[in-house]
Every structure is written in C-alpha cells, then in structure tokens.
Structure 1
Amino acid sequence: MQATDNNNSDLLDLEREVYKGEMPWSSFSFKTELQKTKNSLYVVVYQASTLVGFIGARFLTREAHITNIAVSPVFQGRGIGTFLLNLMIQKARDNKCECISLEVRIDNDRAKKLYSDLGFEATFIRKNYYQDDVDAVNMVCWLMPHKLKERS
C-alpha cells in the first residue's frame, strides 16, 4: 500500500526499532518525502495493524534511487525486503529508468547480500556517509544496457 502522512508515526517507530533507538530520518524528513508524490513513492507493508516494512524511492528521468528501506528485525528473512525491492525495481522499469541505486552501510553484510542477489553491484564508497561516520557503499542495478562512463 502506498504510504501517506498517516503512516508517519509508524515509519518513525519502525526506524527506531531497526536502528536500535537511532533516528536516521526525522518526522519532518518523512513528511517531506511523503508529500513528493509526483516523483517519489513510499510503500508500506503491515501485518494486522503493525508496520513490518517500508521502502521509499525517487524517480528521475533516467534513474531511480531508493532513499530508505527498513524491515522489522522480527520479520527479516521472510521475503518482505525482497518483495519491496522487486516492487521498486519494476516501478523503475515501468518509468523507463536505466538503473536504480541505493546506499548501504559498508558493515551491513546481510543487506549487501540481498541487494547483490537482486542484481545490484557495488560502484563506489561514500566516506563517512552516516551520522556515526560509517562509510556507505553505493550500489546500482542496471535495468537497461549501459556504457560505463569514466570519472575524470
């Protein structure tokens, strides 16, 4: 189901659970993202009345970018993350995007394996990307044939 402002407190609660009390995103950040309905999409998964997972992405002309994904630790390993990622990959294909990208903590081996299994490839490292100065790995899943551009 598509997320709305009504899901804001549930999104914050799930982030708090996933990140062990840390809050990478504020209420304002979620509210701002949820209002960008023209080029953004947030999808939530509930079991009964409990939010168990969500994903958010922005869709640009040729690229989609996953801005946030979280699955409750209690529900990890049950295919929810795979479902959410496949949903956004298909949405990116529907929008004729060439690729879909994301960042993941360099020390999050479980998430990196999931992304790799779905076709994402590590492209570069963003130093001190997270609030606790942990690096991020940028990963890209190519949806169409592409030519690598050399960085200058």
Structure 2
Amino acid sequence: MNKEDISQVLEIEKQCFSVPWTKEAFVMEVEKNKFARYIVAELDEIIVGYGGMWMIIDEAHVTNIGVRPDFRGRGFGDVIVKAMIAAAEKEGIYNMTLEVRASNRVARNLYEKYGFKACGIRPKYYQDNNEDAVIMWKQRN
C-alpha cells in the first residue's frame, strides 16, 4: 500500500468498521511507522480489500483487514490473509496475533482456516458497543 491508495482504503475502512481509522492514521502508518506493512487486493484497478500489520522483533500484530461489502465471499479475504502471512514469514516472523469481535464469526473462521487459534478474551474491547474481542494467535509449529 502506498499513499495514493489511502483514499480507497479509507472508503473500505468506513464500510467495514463502526469506529474507522482516520486518513491521518493511515498516512502515519504508510509514511512514518517503520513497523507497519499494508497489503491491498485489487481488481480492475479498484482496491477491493486491504490488510495491515505491525511487525516487531519476532511477532506480527494484525491491525486491520477489510474487504468491500460487495466483494465479500469471493476469496479476497483469503488472498489478503495469505499475503500477510507470507510477508511476515519472508521477514522471518512466524508468530502472528490479532483481535476480532466475538460476534464476527466469518472473520474468526477465516483466521482459523490459516492456523490462528483463540487464546483469550479482551473484555469490552470495542468502544462502540463494549463487545469483547477474541485474541487469536498463529504460532510456528
């Protein structure tokens, strides 16, 4: 992802999340956060999804993954998750973590498909409705 992608990524962010990141947050991630890596999935020059993570020492923390609602169910989430895992492993990072809404069964199933396991709960993690987050880890076998 580069700075030119931010406007489309921001559209997706707003469609996917009740408390979306701001344009300034994405600019900071792309331009100044040396730990951040972002991937976009494109179809006919339209960004249909994206994923972000922070890679620090031996761990990657997935910050966000989003797919445009009208492109869901077509495998773009799979492509993004696989690309993020590959990017982390290319850097020698085999441990990944993330938080996901307890109610987001579709996302949880996707992460489980790629080896993430539920390892804990962050009570009342989400500000908009105090929903719990499920902490998931993917670790090298």
Compute the TM-score of the two structures, normalised by the length of structure 2. 0.91
SS state at 1:119 partner: coil
Of the three residues 11, 14, 25, the one matched with 1:13 is 11
In the other structure, the counterpart of 1:108 is 104
SS at match of 2:136: strand
Are residue 70 (structure 1) and residue 70 (structure 2) matched?
no
For each residue in 1:94-137, what CA deviation from the matched residue of structure 2 results, as whole angstroms up to 9, or x when unmatched? 22224011110010011101111111000111111112111111
- Mark the structure with the bigger radius of gyration: 1
> Does the residue aligned with 1:88 lie in a helix, a strand or coil?
helix
Verify the 8 A CA contact 2:41 2:79 in the aligned structure 1.
no
| Matched-pair contact (CA < 8 Å) for 1:12–1:23 | no
Return 5+ residue gaps in structure 1 as ranges.
146-152
Three-state SS of the structure 2 residue aligned to 1:131 is coil
Q: Deviations over 1:68-119 (max 9, x none)?
A: 1001111111111111111111122222224011110010011101111111
- Give ranges in structure 2 of 5+ residues lacking alignment: none
Which position in structure 2 is the counterpart of 1:149?
none
The TM-score, its normalising length taken from structure 1, stands at 0.85
Structure 1 segment 57-136 matched on structure 2, within 5 A: 57-132=53-128, 133-136=130-133
Task: State how far apart, in whole Å, the 2-side matches of 1:36 and 1:138 are.
Answer: 27
2:49–2:66 CA contact under 8 A, matched in 1: yes
The root-mean-square deviation of aligned C-alpha atoms, in Å, is 1.5
1:37 to partner: Cα distance: 5.8
Q: How many residues align?
A: 140
> What is the CA deviation profile of residues 6-39 of structure 1, one whole-angstrom value per residue up to 9, with x for unaligned ones?
11211111112223xx342111111111124632
CA–CA distance in structure 2, aligned partners of residues 80 and 87 of structure 1: 10
Q: Secondary structure at the match of 1:102?
A: strand
- Secondary structure of the corresponding residue to residue 99 of structure 2: strand
**Conserved in 2, the CA contact under 8 Å of 1:124 and 1:139?**
yes
Counterpart position of 1:43: 39
Which AA in structure 1 matches 2:7?
Answer: S
- The amino acid across from 1:137 in the alignment is V
CA distance in 2, matches of 1:65, 1:116: 16
Q: Quick one: percent identity of the two aligned structures?
A: 36
Q: Secondary structure at the match of 1:13?
A: helix
C-alpha contact 2:13 2:66 (8 A) present in aligned 1: yes
